[in-house]
Structure 1
Amino acid sequence: MIRAVAFDVGETLISDDRVWGTWADWLGVHRHTLSALVGAVVAQGRDNADALRLLRPGLDAEAERAAMERAGRGEALDESDLYPDVRPALAAFQALGVRVVVAGNQTARAGALLRALDLPVDAVATSGEWGVAKPDPGFFARTIELAGAPAAEVLYVGDHPQNDVGPARAAGMRTAHLRRGPLGHLWADSAEAQAADWRVRSLTELVDVVRSG
């Protein structure tokens, strides 16, 4: 039985278009150029920040992010960044009596922005707030604690097989791979994605899975 559902953030609840678009504008390159580089480095199994370093060798992402904030071009998030199925699906989960939490690899600032959206969720936490990030087992231990249920009764939902599905399964959680965004499509047929308990194309579809299960 699923008593709690925990959601990844980027390309699960929100589109990453704004994030990478802001970086491209800041670095003075076409958005398509950075988008293509992000896809390339991730497909090679590298960190997506390596795409930024290809454009500016030696770039310190955290220092650069701070500079963007000082210039008034820092992180932002509003209703337009949410995928259309997010609010209705989260509300539907709560209506089923399922605890709904958000736990993703985001900054502390992103955590505050997510809370400001007043989503129908019970709790929001980010790796920046916890000081531990996916795929570290410590992140999933914190997620289970946030969910407030035994690991086997918590469903973790994400688009990234290596960061989401694999380590969540290793932590004893149930898993759902969401075929959304570049990585969700790129690795949809990977062994990690195929090992998920469920593979879905929308959060609406996942509501039906939990309702019937």
Structure 2
Amino acid sequence: MRALSRLPLAPVFLALALSTQLAACVPAVIGGAAAGGAMAADRRTSGIYIEDQNIELKASHAVKQELGEKNNITVTSYNRNVLLTGEAVDAASKEAAEKAVRTVDNVRNITNEIVIDTKSTFSERNNDTYITSKVKARMVKENRFPSNYVKVVTEATTVFLLGIVTKQEAEDAVDIARSTSGVSKVVKVFEYID
């Protein structure tokens, strides 16, 4: 016991502090592996996959800078095609959101599906998230096409489908989404490969 009491405390505390930080690396490694797996099962190149994430971040920031917090605008990018969904307080805000996204590099097209309405509530957005998860789960379960080929976004119970798909995959995705409980409408924002 005497030998332990003679150890300087600084290295002991440093070792203890470092050991607590290593645990944070595990989720980062697992998250990176999951993202790599998602990229491998996607028709987009890894560069475009990453560029889509960058576009979403930059465009969301540009919209927030332009409009502030009074609107609820969601930016989704798939193969550099941007889908804008959510609610704007007026037509000028809807147009300003699209204009802000046009300033972002590498955006090919913009589909503006923003509606003029009051900002959705937390429970409404949670319901949309639940609908998205149900649609994705059914795509996996029915196994008509690789589920990573189609991105699902839900806004006010309207499901938007994005992806690089064949016509048959598009039909299957629409059929699955349309027949999922809680879905009021399905909008295709696909690129076709056949």
Between structure 1 and structure 2, the one with the greater Rg is 2
Of Structure 1 and Structure 2, the greater strand share is in: 2
